[in-house]
Amino acid sequence: MTTLVTGGAGFVGSHLCERLLAGNHEVISLDCYDDFYDPATKRDNLAQCREHARFQEVDGDIRDGSILAALPDVETVVHLAARAGVRPSIQNPVLYNDVNVGGTLSLLEFARERGLRRFIFTSSSSVYGNNKVVPFSENHSVDHPISPYAASKKAGELLCHTYHHLHGIGMLCLRLFTVYGPRQRPDLGHPQVRPPHAVR
């Protein structure tokens, strides 16, 4: 099976690529190496993956239809790529909508055009907003996001539902909470790094 992992050079994406390769999958990582944090760090994340003949690395943007059209055949899309972070989304909501909503729509169209039947979308716990009911449940209403980032992830979930309904694509939406571990993003509590948008 060949799996396309968008955001494959990121923290979660690079670990997923390694696990898929360990399971004898063919893996394509698609990442644009944006400047949210040092692109060199993300390139280093894929060092082990590059040792596998079954790994292909594509430097490109999920919004670029020509990049998507040039990809080889895949069976599954795992869509991790996104502009991340609640606070910076408040400062730049247009970019977050463009990447997170427009990019997701581009990938769903890619899946439709290729006749794919498996699409995994990474949403966020941010969609729960100011929900006071704990523990959170996927049955809770998430109709009141409180940041552009959260709204973009909720929009992505709705697009996935629409493409499942219209085109029969099997969908799985994962609402990730704060993820931590080796190679985690520097804005997620790394003791040596203060992100540029941190509260001072």
Taking residue 161's Cβ as centre, other Cβ atoms within 10 Å add up to 12
Catalytic residue among 37, 128, 149, 163: 149
- Based on the residue annotation, tell me whether 33 is a catalytic residue of this protein: no
Q: DSSP assignment of the chain, as one string?
A: -EEEEETTTSHHHHHHHHHHHHTT-EEEEEE---TTS-HHHHHHHTTTGGG-TTEEEEE--TT-HHHHHTS---SEEEE------HHHHHH-HHHHIIIIIIHHHHHHHHHHHHT--EEEEEEEGGGGTT---SS--TTS-----SSHHHHHHHHHHHHHHHHHHHH--EEEEEEE----STT--TTTT-TT---TT---
Q: Which residues are catalytic?
A: 149
